[in-house]
Amino acid sequence: MNRQIRQLAAGLILCYVVLFVALNFWQVGQKEELDARFDNTRAVLREFNKPRGPIVTADGVVVARSLTNPPGSDFEFSRDYPAGDLLSNVTGYFTLAFGSTQVEREYGDVLTGSTAAQQIRGLGDLLGGDVDNTGSVQLTLRHDAQTAARFFLAGREGSVVVVEVETGAVVAMWSNPSYDPNTFVNEDFEVARDVISELQEADGNPLLANAYQERYMPGSTFKMITTGIGLETGALTLDSQFDRVREWVPPQTDDPIQNYRGSQCGGDLAEVFRRSCNIPFAQTAVAIGPEGMIAGTRAWGLDEELPIDLPRPAGSTFGNTTDLDQNLPLLAIRGFGQNEDQMVPLHMALVAGAIANGGQMMKPYVVDATFDHNGSALDRTSPEVWKTPLSPQNASIITDLMIGVAESGTASCCIALEGGIPVAAKTGTADLGLGGGVDQVHAWIVAFAPADDPEYVVSVVLTNLESTAAEAATGGRLAGPVAKGVLDFLLTGDGAG
C-alpha cells in the first residue's frame, strides 16, 4: 500500500501546486486587468468606507460632512451636505458608483487623512488611542455671502462671483441652476443613476459650475480689456477723442458697425467708456491690430484655463485668430465683446479685480486652508499673482473710467451703494442675435468697491434673457441690482465685518 500512499501524496501535492499557481495568476498576473474592470468597486469602496472630514466655509458653516450610519448598514458612513444646493458647485459630491467632483475630489486625500503629513502625524496618535485621522478643508467662500448671491440672483439663470481683490480668494460663487447632492449620494445605485442622468439632461446644466466651468459672450464688459490693451500699447490715452457717429465702416468691408441700438455716440475716452459706445472700441481694436490684440488678450489670461484649485475649469477666449488680419471687421467687433469673444464669469471678476488691484490679476482659489483632525493647519493657500496686464497708472485710469460708469454712465441707474461707498463698474449686454423672434442677450455687470480702496469685486451675468424694444434687457438695469445687493451686504449690511 505504501507505493499508492506515496502516489497519493504526489497527487495531492500536484493539486496544491495548481492552487498556488492559480493564486499567483489572480493576485499578481491578472491583478491589473481585474482592478481595472468596470464593475470592480474595491478601490472606490475602500475610499468610501474611510471616515471623511468636513468641508467648512470661511464663516464656519459645515457644508459637507460624514454621518455615522447605524450598525448593520451597508456602509459605515453617509455623506451629508447640510447646505443643499447652495455650495454643491464648490464642494462637489462624493459617491460610491459615480465618482466625486470638485473639492471632494481634489482634496479627498486630506479629508480621509491619507496625505503623507497626516499619516506621519497620525502615527503618534495611534499609540495614544486616538483613532480619527481625517482632515478638514476650509473654503474661502462665505456661507452668508453665497446665500446673499443666491438671494439677489433670485432664481434667474446666471452666475454671481465675488472675489477678494487683494488675494484672489473667492468669497461667493453661485450659479443657477444648481443641484442638491443629498438627492443621490447615499441612494442605491439605480436611484442615484437616474437622478444624475436627469440632472445631466436638465436645462442650464445644473451639475456644471457655470461660474467657472462655462463661458459666455461678454458684450461691453470686454471694453475693460480693450481699453487696458489700448492704454498699455499706447493706442489709447486719456486724451483720445472719438467722432460722434451712428455708424462706422471698418476696413475690408462695406458693412457698417453701429453703436448700441443705433445711437449716436462719441467724445473723449471717459465719455465713450461711460456711455459704452461700440465704435470707439472697434476703432481702438483695429488701431492696436490683430497681433497686439491677440498678445494683449493673452496678457489678460484669455485662451488659457483659469488657474483655480478646482477641477476642469473653463478658459475664456478671444476666438479663432487664424487670418485675423484678413478679417479686420471681426477684430473690430471683438473689440467691444461680440463675435467669438467668450468670457468665464469668474474670469470677468478677475479682470475687474486686476484693475482694482493696481494691475495685478490674482490667482483665484476656493480653498483657504486644510487642517488635520487636531485642527492644526496642513497647508494654507498663499495668494499669488497670475497675470500683470496693466501698469498701476493705467489701472488707476481704468478705475476712474469705471467710477464714471457707476456714477453717471450705463450702471448709474442701479449700482449706487448704501452709505455712499464709492463703486466702480462696467456693464455689458451681449447680443446673441434673434432667437424665436426676440433678441437673446446675456446681461453683465462687473463692479468693485470701495473704489478708493477696493475690497471686493463682483461679476454678475444673467444668461439667455429675452430683450424687446419696449423692455430692453441691459446689464446695468438687470445685473446692476444683483451686484449692488451683494456689495451692500458685504460692505454695509449683515455681511459687513
Partner 1 sequence: MTGVDLLAGVDEPGRRGDSPLARSRRNTELSLVVMAALITGSAYTIAALGTNAEIPPGIVVFVAFLLGLLLFAHLVVRYVARGADGTLLPLAALLHGIGFVMITRLDDELAGLQATWSLIGIAVFVGTLLVVQRAGDLARYKWLLFFFGAGLLLLPMLPGLGRNINGARIWVSLGPINFQPGEFAKIALAIFFAAYLAERRELIAASTWKVGPLHLPEPRYIAPILVAWGFAVVVMVGERDLGSSLLFFTLFVVMLWVATERVGYLLLGLVLFAGAAYFSWTQFSHVQTRVDIWIDPWSRSLDRGYQIVQSLYGLSDGGLTGTGLGRGNPNQVPEAQNDFIFASIGEEMGLIGGSAIIMSYLLIVGAGLRTALRSDRPFEKLLAVGLTTIIGVQAFIIIGGVIKVVPLTGITLPFVSYGGSSLIANYILLALLIRVSDSAARRLGELPDDPTISERWRAAQLARRNRRAARRGLPTAATDAPTIDPDAAIGDDPLATS
Sites of contact with partner 1 (CB under 8 A)? 1-6, 8-9, 12-13, 15-16, 18-20, 22-24, 26-28, 30-31, 34-35, 37, 39-43, 45-46, 49, 126, 129, 131, 133
Q: Backbone phi, then psi, for 125, in 5-degree steps?
A: -70, -30
How many residues does this entry show for the chain? Answer: 497
Q: Cβ distance 178 to 89 under 8 Å?
A: yes
Instruction: State which residue, 18 or 377, has the beta carbon closest to partner 1.
Output: 18
Q: Backbone phi, then psi, for 207, in 5-degree steps?
A: -70, -20
Give SS3 for 361.
strand
Residue 91 grid coordinates? 464642494
Crossing angle of the two packed helices 223-233 and 279-299, in degrees rounded to 10 = 80
Nearest-angstrom CA–CA distance, 192 and 180: 12
Instruction: State which residue, 11 or 419, has the beta carbon closest to partner 1.
Output: 11
Q: Backbone phi, then psi, for 190, in 5-degree steps?
A: -65, -45
Tell me the closest approach of the beta carbon of residue 23 to partner 1, in angstroms. 5
Tell me the closest approach of the beta carbon of residue 130 to partner 1, in angstroms. 9
Q: Cβ distance 170 to 365 under 8 Å?
A: yes
Instruction: State which residue, 42 or 380, has the beta carbon closest to partner 1.
Output: 42
Instruction: State which residue, 49 or 263, has the beta carbon closest to partner 1.
Output: 49
Residue 308 grid coordinates? 483655480
Tell me the closest approach of the beta carbon of residue 198 to partner 1, in angstroms. 23
With a CB cutoff of 8 Å and minimum separation 6, the contacts of 434 are 440
With a CB cutoff of 8 Å and minimum separation 6, the contacts of 450 are 421, 422, 423, 491
Tell me the closest approach of the beta carbon of residue 80 to partner 1, in angstroms. 22
Tell me the closest approach of the beta carbon of residue 66 to partner 1, in angstroms. 15
Phi-psi region of 437 (alpha: psi -120 to 50; beta: other; left: phi over 0): left
Tell me the closest approach of the beta carbon of residue 50 to partner 1, in angstroms. 10
Tell me the closest approach of the beta carbon of residue 187 to partner 1, in angstroms. 18
Tell me the Cα Rg of the chain.
28
Nearest-angstrom CA–CA distance, 493 and 489: 4
Phi-psi region of 401 (alpha: psi -120 to 50; beta: other; left: phi over 0): alpha
Instruction: State which residue, 42 or 261, has the beta carbon closest to partner 1.
Output: 42
Note if the bond before 177 is cis, omega within 30 degrees.
Answer: yes
Instruction: State which residue, 43 or 438, has the beta carbon closest to partner 1.
Output: 43
Q: Cβ distance 232 to 394 under 8 Å?
A: yes
Helices (H), 58-113: 88-91, 102-106, 108-112
Instruction: State which residue, 26 or 494, has the beta carbon closest to partner 1.
Output: 26
Instruction: State which residue, 44 or 62, has the beta carbon closest to partner 1.
Output: 44
Tell me the closest approach of the beta carbon of residue 139 to partner 1, in angstroms. 28
Instruction: State which residue, 18 or 249, has the beta carbon closest to partner 1.
Output: 18
Tell me the closest approach of the beta carbon of residue 90 to partner 1, in angstroms. 30
Q: Cβ distance 106 to 309 under 8 Å?
A: yes
Instruction: State which residue, 131 or 238, has the beta carbon closest to partner 1.
Output: 131
Tell me the closest approach of the beta carbon of residue 376 to partner 1, in angstroms. 19
With a CB cutoff of 8 Å and minimum separation 6, the contacts of 355 are 224, 228, 390, 395, 398, 399, 402, 424, 448
Instruction: State which residue, 10 or 377, has the beta carbon closest to partner 1.
Output: 10
Torsion sign (Cα): 335, 338, 340, 344: positive
Tell me the closest approach of the beta carbon of residue 116 to partner 1, in angstroms. 18
Sole residue written with cell 465719455: 271
Distance from CA of residue 22 to its chain's centroid?
Answer: 51
Tell me the closest approach of the beta carbon of residue 51 to partner 1, in angstroms. 9
Instruction: State which residue, 41 or 492, has the beta carbon closest to partner 1.
Output: 41
Residue 176, H or E segment: strand 170-176
Residue 295 grid coordinates? 498678445
Residue 18, H or E segment: helix 2-24
Tell me the closest approach of the beta carbon of residue 105 to partner 1, in angstroms. 21
Instruction: State which residue, 75 or 247, has the beta carbon closest to partner 1.
Output: 75
